[in-house]
Structure 1
Amino acid sequence: MTTLPDLSGFGIAFDLDGTLVETAPDIIGTLNTILAEYDVPPFPYEAARSLVGRGARSLIQRGFAAANVPLSEEAELPMVGRFLDLYRERIDQESHAFAGLEGALDQLRAAGARLAVCTNKPTALSELLLTKLGLIERFGSVRGADSVPLKKPDRGHLKACAVDLGLPLDKMLLIGDSETDYLTAQNAGVPCVLVSFGYCDTPMEAMSPAALIDHFDELPTAIASILR
């Protein structure tokens, strides 16, 4: 086990979908339920996985486009509402924390770090998912896209997490899985750790995070190297 430096006075913010939690099965399952209601063929899981972080509307649009079925803007709006209702019902049916996550979070907290969730998922859904998975008590802030004037990659989203934790922005780190997370950290002037197992459709080599990890067991070592 990595010996961490004293992390008192530091905040570590995590993206949610594809970073903390494998949510793709429930999100794509919800999408395919919607598509079936409109007699549209299901969107293949592997094709949809990298798009999960882009929100319900984008997923619905891609699902219809993949099947070459026209979709009007007027038809989209009720589908998004229906998607959110269905997803809320099955939010933890197949979703689960990534391997090693809970141990890494506990190790960071034991070293004095304050933890936050900085996600473009709606706040209520984020809190519901974290509660159902028994994770929410580990976080001092959960900020969804609807809780800030401008969402990630705007630096203000991460700053809101810092304010909640009682910390300055320059004492934050961001852990994520996508170009949006990387750009958020860049815009905020803070280090970014990316995970390789999430929902990124941008090649990792196109970015230069402070660290890239393949498993949460590697996170304490990565953070220790950044903050030493």
Structure 2
Amino acid sequence: MTILPDLTGYCLAFDLDGTLVETAPDIIGTLNEILADYKVPKFAYSDARKLVGRGARSLIQRGFAAANVPLDAAAEDPMVARFLDIYRDRIDRESTAFERLEDTLDALTAAGATLTVCTNKPTDLSVLLLTKLGLIDRFGSVRGADSVPDKKPHPGHLQACVDDVGLTMAKTILIGDSETDYLTAQNAGVPCVLVSFGYCDTPMEEMSPAALIHHFDELPTAIAGLAK
């Protein structure tokens, strides 16, 4: 693994779904339970993974649209509430940390970096998932969309994470998997590292992250290249 520079004073802010954790299996499993309630055919994992990444409401809307089944707008709110209840119960049934994540996080922390989570997932579900996977203690702050006035890509969401750990945006790097993360970094004026293995429906070549990685083994090299 890359020899890291001294990262003391750096805040490394991570997106959660599709960046730290492969959550799609449980999210798709939950969607299929909702669809079954309405006699809509279930999706195969390979077909539904591309629908993940924009929250429960968007997933439900996209799921019904992809199945060519009309969705009554009045049914959305109770459907979203049921989705969140089901998902909470199965949140770690099939979800797993991406390969070599823990070793990489430990190396970054050993080099002095402070880690945070900046996600549009609800905070309670984020904390629950990270706790169940044994990852929670690695992060100094976990901020979901419900914990800030304006969620990503608003820079205030990232700023709240940085403020929580007493650091500054001048030494912050955002690691994510989507256009939302890329735009958040752009809006905040910080470097962005994108992972290619997450949930992004915008072609990576249409964005210009400071670094693009395909495996967590590559993250230390990317961070070393961006640390001032």
After TM superposition, the score normalised by the length of structure 1 is: 0.98
**Alignment pair present for 1:191 and 2:191:** yes
| Residue identity opposite 1:178 in structure 2 | S
RMSD after superposition: 0.9
Partners of 2:227 and 2:134 lie apart in 1 by: 29
Query: Which residue of structure 1 lines up, in the alignment, with residue 204 of structure 2?
Result: 204
Partners of 1:190 and 1:47 lie apart in 2 by: 34
Query: Which residue of structure 1 lines up, in the alignment, with residue 168 of structure 2?
Result: 168
| Residue identity opposite 2:78 in structure 1 | P
The SS at the match of 1:50 is helix
Please, which runs of 5 or more residues in structure 2 have no aligned partner? none
| Residue identity opposite 1:94 in structure 2 | E
**Alignment pair present for 1:214 and 2:214:** yes
Query: Which residue of structure 2 lines up, in the alignment, with residue 36 of structure 1?
Result: 36
Partners of 1:23 and 1:114 lie apart in 2 by: 24
Runs of 4+ in 1 over 2 A off after TM superposition: 43-48
Kindly indicate whether the alpha-carbon contact (under 8 Å) linking 2:51 and 2:63 is maintained by their aligned counterparts in 1.
no
Between Structure 1 and Structure 2, how many residues are aligned? 228
**Alignment pair present for 1:60 and 2:60:** yes
Query: Which residue of structure 2 lines up, in the alignment, with residue 150 of structure 1?
Result: 150
Per-residue deviation, 1:93: 0.2
Per-residue deviation, 1:45: 2.3
Per-residue deviation, 1:44: 3.5
**Alignment pair present for 1:13 and 2:21:** no
The SS at the match of 2:94 is coil
Please, which runs of 5 or more residues in structure 1 have no aligned partner? none
Kindly indicate whether the alpha-carbon contact (under 8 Å) linking 1:35 and 1:42 is maintained by their aligned counterparts in 2.
yes
Deviation sequence 1:150-180 (CA, Å, 0-9, x none) = 0000000000000001011221100000000
**Alignment pair present for 1:81 and 2:99:** no
**Alignment pair present for 1:49 and 2:52:** no
Partners of 2:173 and 2:50 lie apart in 1 by: 23
Partners of 1:210 and 1:44 lie apart in 2 by: 34
The SS at the match of 1:36 is helix
Partners of 1:123 and 1:151 lie apart in 2 by: 12
